[in-house]
Amino acid sequence: MEAAALAITILWSLLFVYAILGSLDFGAGFWGMIYGKNNQTSASQIANRFLSPTWEITNVFLVIFVVSVVSFFPFATTLLSSILLVPVALGLLLLTIRTTFMVFEHHAQRFRELLRVTSGFTGLLIPALLVSILPITLGGFVEFENEYPRLHYGELLTHPTLYMHIAFGLTTELFISAVFLMDYAKEADDWSAYYTFRKHAIWLGPVSIAVAVLTIGTFPAEAAWIVENIEANWLWFGLSIVFFLIGYGFLFIKRTDGTRGWARLAVISIILQYGIAIYAYGSAHLPYLVYPVLTVEEGFADPSMFYNMLIIYSIGFGILIPAFILFWRLFLKDRRYLKQE
Amino acid sequence: MDVVVMARALFGTSLGFHIIYATLGVGLPVMIIIAEVLYLIKKDSDYALMARRWTKGFAILLAVSIASGTIVGVLISLLFPNFMEIVGQVIALPFQMEIFAFLIEAVFMSIYLYAADRLPPSLRIVSIISVAIGATASAILITDVHAWMNTPAGFNITPNGDITDIDVWAAFFNPSFGVTAIHVTLSAYMTVSFLIASIAALRLMRRKLSAAERNYHKKALMIALYFGALTSLATAINGHETAQMLHEYNPRKLAAAEGLFETTRYAPLSVGGYTSLEDQRVKYAIEIPNGLSFLAGDRFDTEVLGLNEWPQELWPPLYVHVLFNVMVGIGTVLILIALLALFWKHVLKKEFPGWMLAVLVVSGPLALIAIEAGWCFSCIGRQPWTITDVLRTGEAATKSNSVNILFYLFLILYVTLLFVTGFIMRHYFKRNPVSNDLAKGSS
Ligand code: HDD
Ligand code: HEM
Ligand code: HEM
């Protein structure tokens, strides 16, 4: 593969990882808020137990993504930063509020309610802001004035596609996190939480797929190019829907012990579904980073830096694999952690 | 106001905020290791308690240090895109490596924080040591980018701005990387020592204190004083080397630091005062004859270049002299404080009098002021360049005029967070006083 193509593939994979981790993280924050005051189910505790040790790692993946954009595609920084300054800066403000309040919540009983509601709401607002970057790259919202790119907020904010993208982002976030937390609750043998999350997964699944399909219908006129590419890629999108159906089906299977749902297999299928969809969407987006002003090729720099970075990546993740395994064992498998009071 | 000025203000403020928490994040894990090791050696449960309480404080601060770090990490690309375009081509490696340092720190911090009771002691120490390595490595790696901005290396730039002849490793090991990285690391360790001394001294000033509590705080104070004396001495010695590095690679900055206008041998060191442009000298300063020449080259007859060697438009703001003096002055005072306290304890073998505790209370905040002054000196002393002699700040910055509003929004956020973290720390440690933990331990 060519260096630039390899670079965008790696970047896209990082986006995929962050999309999944971020959905789990922000979704858990939201469920933690919804069920915080409810004594019927321990859904909130389960969500928070997952969140406490993992949010830092999720955050690092956000940073990896940003650093990789700049270092793989240095010639894209000028354009991207001018059009994304405001949405991304606002996202940073919210993210800071969320991160700090979420941690402070553990240390100040008295303000629990206020802190929890804040971190729950930002768990919806941040993904909404992040997905609103997607329509910007489709074309029609960026224009050059005196050789300087400007984002047309008026047009963006009044265009239905923005709101469909946000709806799509939020429904998938909540669906993925509900299915995952179902599995997490099962590891912890916590059936009240399990059935709570299952209930939500069941209605969120079809809604998220419906919204995703409808979103494509609202793409701006300038985005005809990507709609064409998506249609040409229909096989992959179809495969993604097949995995959705498989995963959704696993929610209903009755097990020998009488419980309903095969949570682990559902999670895996749903992650495969999103993986396929994200790569299919990514390849439909090529060759543009931002249509029509910036292509992948134009953003890419000298390959020697890129190959050095690949070496750093391999060494870095190589060193970290044992640490991740230890982490997995301690927080996602160890009953002593999962079942604590 | 001018977009470039606002971009600099926003970024400078964000870094000034991040560095408070980041410095603590670099130093605290080391203090926790010391306490854990002392516990292993002496089997004194006070040290285990210390490690646990410091970890709690660390966990609170870490949230803000990660959040503010994420802010500066993203803002740097948003506000200085033309700068990052060059960074991406020449010095992206430290940024990439830093990610792994963050991951190591994040993974092991969660393990140390939430799984300590399920781990054997050896794995616990391994975890906290990994946290310390991750934090120090991230400080060193980000400092590498900063050092490269001061003494750029590893590329050529054509007149129309294209970057050629890239050598990523020459950029990585740029001339000022070594000394600067050591200076940053040592000064972070020393700052945290003095902050811990401050807190312990503050507690010891209380009248109503049980013998067990008094004992506990004294032990914390002694760790802080020993480590503080050691690291502050090392910081000063290495600071001297840093100044010599400036003399060799960045003489304009050294001239501005010392308010020297004319190139001379036997140059005096001006302590205090402010640099006057009209009089071409530092006013109201105490002059140490030959001091600057000695600082720069270890000899009294070293020739030190003055600002007049360069056109005035290339001078950094003259007030950097004050920033430099604040850093060096505080560094000197803190060495004296630490040595005096240790002398009192070991030679006079007496309890600390109230005034000495009071002095120790201010030592921590002083060290933080030195950190801020040092960084501001280094970044402002580089002006008007973002990359010395390569890229001007005016060309590096964004042209988006939304920066104005963002500056005020972020300013409000930082001020609020400073108060809220202070408040949460007080709230938490008030509700869980040492006396409670000590009582739990002995029952
Ligand atoms: C507790 C903090 C502290 C203390 C006591 C000192 N320093 Fe420092 N100094 C820093 C904290 C610091 C810093 C914040 O870490 C800086 C800012 C940028 C950097 O690389 O380190 C720095 C930079 C810095 C620079 C500029 C490097 C550059 O711009 O490239 C010089 C020349 C010195 N220091 C010299 C000294 C000397 C001679 C000291 C004598 C006691 C001293 N420092 C004490
Ligand atoms: C030299 C001064 C600095 C020091 C000592 C320092 C140190 C630290 C430390 C200790 C952390 C917390 C590490 C963790 O657990 O993740 C941190 C976070 C961070 N810093 Fe800084 N930093 C400095 C300056 C900067 C600058 C200038 C940038 C960006 C250009 C930056 C980017 C970041 C980022 C992105 C994070 C968050 C990483 C995460 O998500 O965990 N830092 N820094
Ligand atoms: C964390 C402690 C730091 C503080 C308190 C600090 C302070 C400042 C200040 C006050 C400015 C504004 C200077 C002016 O425009 O007059 C500035 C600019 C800047 N600093 Fe630093 N700095 C720190 C560390 C770093 C590091 C580690 C880097 C390298 C990655 C860095 C990169 C920059 C850049 C790119 C600018 C903007 C361009 C410029 O004004 O030259 N800073 N910093």
**How much is the ipTM here?**
0.88
Contacts of A302 in chain B (CB under 8 A): 89, 166
Residue A195 has pLDDT above 70, yes or no: yes
Q: What are the Cα distances from residue B259, in Å, to A232, B307, B326? A: 68, 8, 14
Distance of CA B435 to the CA centre of its chain: 33
From chain B residues 63-92, the ones with a CB under 8 A of any chain A CB are: 63-64, 66-71, 73-75, 77-79, 81-82, 84-90, 92
Instruction: Tell me if B79 CB under 6 Å of ligand 3.
Output: no
Choice between B400 and B179, residue whose per-residue pLDDT is larger: B179
B186 is a domain residue: no
Ligand 3, atom 34, lies closest to the CA of B386
B126 and B69 housed in the same domain: yes
| Percent of chain A clearing pLDDT 70 (strictly above) | 96
Q: Which of B352, B381, B410 is the last residue of a domain?
A: B381
Model pLDDT for residues A151-188, shown as the tens digit of each residue:
888 888 888 888 888 888 899 899 999 888 888 888 77
- Range picked from A155-159, A301-305, B417-421 for highest mean pLDDT: B417-421
* Domain presence at residue B387: no
Provide the domain limits for residue B4.
1-176+401-443
Residues B204, B171 share a domain: no
Query: Are B217 and B53 spatial neighbours (Cβ–Cβ below 8 Å)?
Result: no
- Flag whether pLDDT at A38 surpasses 70: no
Mean pLDDT of B43-59: 88
In a shared domain, residues B109 and B133: yes
User: How sure is the predictor about B25, in pLDDT bands with cuts at 50, 70 and 90?
Assistant: very high
B135 and B56, same domain (yes or no): yes
In a shared domain, residues B371 and B432: no
CA separation for the pair B246, B244 (Å, rounded): 5
In this prediction, residue A299 carries a pLDDT of 78
pLDDT tens, B309-350? 888 888 888 899 899 999 999 999 999 999 999 998 888 778
In a domain, residue B301? The reply is yes
Task: Report yes or no on B395 lying in a domain.
Answer: no
User: Could you give the residue ranges of the DSSP H alpha helices within chain A?
Assistant: 3-34, 43-72, 77-105, 112-131, 133-136, 153-158, 160-187, 191-217, 224-232, 234-250, 263-285, 296-299, 303-328, 335-338
- Residue B376 and residue B424 in one domain: no
Could you read off the pLDDT of A223-253 as tens digits, one per residue?
A: 778 888 888 888 888 888 888 888 888 878 8
- Count CA atoms closer than 13 A to A337's CA, side-chain side: 24
Size of interface A-B (CB pairs under 8 A): 209
Distance to chain B for A219, nearest Cα, Å: 27
| Cα–Cα distance for residue pair A116/A126, rounded to 1 Å | 15
Shared domain for B15 and B163, answered yes or no, is yes
CA–CA distance, A149 with B309 (Å, rounded to integer): 40
Q: Given this model, what pLDDT does residue A341 score?
A: 52
Average pLDDT over residues A11-26: 88
Question: Does residue B283 sit in the same domain as residue B421?
Answer: no
Structure tokens at A339: 């079942």
Q: Per the CB < 8 Å rule, is A71 touching B88? A: yes
- Give yes or no for residue B177 CB within 6 A of ligand 1: no
Residue B46 falls within a domain, yes or no? Answer: yes
User: Distance (Å, rounded) from C-alpha A299 to C-alpha A287?
Assistant: 11
Please tell me the predicted confidence (pLDDT) of residue A39.
Answer: 65
Q: In sequence order, what are the residues at sequence separation of 6 or more whose Cβ sits closer than 8 angstroms to the Cβ of residue A102?
A: A29, A51, A55, A115, A119, B63
B318 and B441 share a domain?
Answer: no
State the pLDDT at residue A113. Answer: 78
**Are residues B289 and B367 both part of a single domain?**
yes
- What are the φ/ψ torsions at residue A240 (nearest 5 degrees)? -60, -40
Domain-embedded: residue B310: yes
Q: How far apart are CA B128 and CA B134, in angstroms?
A: 10
The pLDDT value recorded for residue B443 is 39
Band (pLDDT 50/70/90 cuts) for residue B201 is very high
Residue A319 has pLDDT above 60, yes or no: yes
pLDDT, tens only, A275-293: 888 888 888 888 887 777 7
Q: How far does the centroid of ligand 3 lie from the alpha carbon of residue B12, in Å?
A: 6
Range ranked top by mean pLDDT from B186-190, B213-217, B396-400: B186-190
Instruction: Give, using CA atoms, the residue closest to atom 28 of ligand 1.
Output: B378
Q: What value does the mean pLDDT of chain B take?
A: 88
For residue B298, is it within any domain?
A: yes
Percentage of chain B lying above the pLDDT 70 cut: 99
Q: Whose CA is nearest to atom 21 of ligand 3?
A: B379
Q: Are residue B225 and residue B280 in the same domain, yes or no?
A: yes
Domain count, chain B: 2
